[in-house]
Structure 1
Amino acid sequence: MSGALPTVAAFTDSYLPTVNGVTYTVSSWHEEYQSRDGRMPVVYPKSSHTPGKGEHPVSSLPFPFYDGYRMALPSTPDAVRDADVVHAHTPFGLGLAGLRLARRSDTPLVATYHTPTAEYAEYVGPDALTGVVRAASERYERWFLGHADLVLCPSERTCETVRALGVDTPVEVMPNGVDTQHFRPTDPTAFLSRHDLPTDEPLVGYTGRHGYEKRLSDLLAAAEDLDVTVVFGGDGPARDDLEAEAAERDVDARFLGFLDRDELPAFYSALDAFAFPSPVETEGLVALEANACGTPVAGVDAGALSETILDGETGYHYGEGSIPGFRRAIRRTLDDCDRLAENCLARREEAGVGRAIDRLAARYRDLL
């Protein structure tokens, strides 16, 4: 090993310019690691993203079942072959390339379980095949994770999911962290004006991929009897249906589309409450980003959000599938906004990416 930190080759099937939690986690880890004079080269599917220092695109093709994603050929650039540790952020394409590199060079393989593949089975084919795809994906995940030396999960709920697969590899919680230097309270005046958003009524919003699995239609249903404006940032396959449903329900919903990362702190700061109905999160990174900007969260008591949202401290939970419960959680969050915002800001550094890298570097050294 050279330097104070081990050299870590990160392999991911999801990277910039795609917007999701995996992308932001890998890119923020890469940046933080480099800021400490460490090397964490990233291998990712070639796209429109212009690679910077330590970023290595490989040939890829569009993924036909999920818009915005690309499939990379499982190849390994020469620049990462000297890695002390291999870290796979996917079990597929480039995850296989990482597994192959770890085997050939006899280096430890760490795998982060970001997303249960089975949750996205509905995108791959007709309903009749969903069960088959789920079962096959779980068997494959069990095989891949079983070849790792350590499996990391961003929440305890996600660790339970991995253990339920029957994986023998050690499984540990490792929160991904957020960039608290970037995500901080920001004056939203210019943002509100640029997007023509009202300043005389509460803003309740969400940003992220508009996927059907996120249950964003629940937010429109909950907002139907609330005197609020709902603001959606991001894009995805469910957007057209969400816009049609908002019109049908006569909900004042604004769809801003893709927001540049530099706009997100102002987006979060503009909201009175962040609403998060997705039951499939492994961490719910956008909830932590909102909290880091001083915005409390009304979210479902399911998946990782049961841990990410501290009920009564950084927001409020509601029972999965309960629209009245969601509506009450939003109302409580708005009514208690000032106190909750103070709590969110007091906990900023605990959720920082710097804290995550401290823990991550320690585990790399332990494996070596």
Structure 2
Amino acid sequence: MSSKDSHEYDLCVAVNYYSPYVSGLTEVARVLAEGLAGRGWRVAVVAVRHDAALPLRESRNGVDVYRSPVVASVGRGPVSPGFPSLVRRIARRSRVVNLHLPMLEGALITALPLRVPVVTTYHIDLWLPPTLVTRAAMAAVRVSSRVTLRRSDAVVVNSDDQAQYSELWSILRSSQRSAIPAPCLDRRGGEATYRETGGPHIGFLGRIVPDKGLDYLVAAFAEIPDPEARLLVGGDYLTVAGGSVIDRIRTAAERDPRIRILGLLRGRQINDFYASIDAFALPSIAESFGIAQAEAMMCGIPSVTTDLPGGRYPVLATGMGRVVQPRDPAGLRVALLDVLGWDADTRREGAKRALEEFGVDGCLDRYAALFRLHGARAGALM
């Protein structure tokens, strides 16, 4: 650092869960942090230590990662008393702080002036399977999000479609809001290593959790009689916050031997997954965007998703798929059979639109410009 620059970091990213944890929200934070670090930015990430085996401080792919110990969990929410103060400490050493909501601690982090611009990325209204405890948790997070958004200098949403139907729209509407789609990796060029037959292969990739609506996908697939058809279910079910529905998916696979449970996929395995399928399914009952479906589209694979604000946006923006009602196996089946019949030219044109709309470089450019507007050093855009 020069003597004129007392800031250790250009950007501090604050997020509850960070890599190696896998979720859409985590991936946005990771790709953003690592992408800007690759452009020469000095980036710190502050997260909770969701796995006690992880170090409290490390460098991952050019990013300094700070973690706060977790003492308990409520639903998906980690309880880490030291997290707000750790975020504030690293934020004060940075030019801009980027908070990723929903986050219970947001109001505490911004309770006192940080003396650093706050850019908040609001991913989704928190949804948890309803119980007395989770209802209280959702209410607390909602209050914290309201406070944090009001105290933010700028707000990023994945799409205006997501924002306009949010329970916090009254605040988002009057905020300094930018719609920046989540960064999606170009997964083209994989090998069809998961393909078994010449029949249609339908894929799902994501956390194996209640809000992804996998029960409805399983029911829809059961009504496709082709013995050569396959349903490939990829994603984490071992370390997901809030609990998994893997037992129900395993039971379904026992009834229907055409279902394959692939588990957590990383790196080239994800490329190979997309190369192995003919249609992607995202039957969520709560969704903010769906990075996996956008990446599938970029590979020429149409997506069938549910009519949820934000979650439907990638399909509506590109035309690369179909939108159906949530919790509707019959509608899901009809839409899947429709897109399975799309020809190569239709898929190619849809992939082109998706690559233009959701590529990583465009996302990084827009975030970088926003951070620069709010205090990041001019040289950090290189």
Q: Say whether the fold is shared (TM-score over 0.5).
A: yes
**Runs of 5+ unmatched residues, structure 2:** 238-243, 376-382
Tell me, yes or no, if structure 1 residue 51 matches structure 2 residue 52.
no
Q: Deviation of residue 343 (structure 1)?
A: 2.1
Q: Describe the superposition over 1:240-285 as per-residue Cα deviations: whole angstroms up to 9, x where unpaired.
A: 112213434x362111111123311111111111111113211111
Give 1 or 2: higher helix fraction: 1
Q: Deviation of residue 325 (structure 1)?
A: 1.1
Q: Describe the superposition over 1:271-306 as per-residue Cα deviations: whole angstroms up to 9, x where unpaired.
A: 111111113211111111111222111111222132
Q: Deviation of residue 97 (structure 1)?
A: 7.1
Tell me, yes or no, if structure 1 residue 179 matches structure 2 residue 190.
no
1:335 aligned partner, one-letter code: G
Q: Describe the superposition over 1:72-103 as per-residue Cα deviations: whole angstroms up to 9, x where unpaired.
A: 43233766533111101135366467536x82
Structure 1 equivalent of residue 340 of structure 2: 334
2:198 aligned partner, one-letter code: D
What RMSD, in angstroms, separates the aligned Cα atoms of the two structures?
Answer: 2.6
CA contact (8 A) 2:101 2:145 kept: no
Summarize the alignment of residues 85-100 of structure 1 with structure 2, pairs less than 5 Å apart. 85-92=96-103, 95=106, 99=110
Q: 1:94 to 1:344 in 2, by over 3 A?
A: farther
Q: Describe the superposition over 1:197-221 as per-residue Cα deviations: whole angstroms up to 9, x where unpaired.
A: 5132111010110111111111011
Structure 2 equivalent of residue 18 of structure 1: 21
Tell me, yes or no, if structure 1 residue 111 matches structure 2 residue 120.
yes
SS of 1:38's partner is coil
- CA distance in 2 between counterparts of 1:62 and 1:287 reads 34
SS of 2:292's partner is helix
Structure 2 equivalent of residue 64 of structure 1: 73
CA contact (8 A) 1:279 1:303 kept: no
1:290 aligned partner, one-letter code: A
Identity %: 25
Q: How many residues align?
A: 348
CA contact (8 A) 1:91 1:144 kept: no
Q: Deviation of residue 8 (structure 1)?
A: 1.2
Q: Deviation of residue 62 (structure 1)?
A: 6.3
User: Which stretch of structure 1 is more off in the superposition, 214-223 or 261-270?
Assistant: 261-270
Q: 1:293 to 1:113 in 2, by over 3 A?
A: same
Q: State the TM-score, normalized to the length of structure 2.
A: 0.82
**Runs of 5+ unmatched residues, structure 1:** none
- CA distance in 2 between counterparts of 1:341 and 1:39 reads 39
1:59 aligned partner, one-letter code: S
2:59 aligned partner, one-letter code: P
- CA distance in 1 between counterparts of 2:269 and 2:303 reads 19
Q: Deviation of residue 70 (structure 1)?
A: 4.5
Q: 1:350 to 1:260 in 2, by over 3 A?
A: same
SS of 2:101's partner is coil
- CA distance in 2 between counterparts of 1:62 and 1:271 reads 41
Q: State the TM-score, normalized to the length of structure 1.
A: 0.85
SS of 2:113's partner is helix
- CA distance in 2 between counterparts of 1:169 and 1:301 reads 26
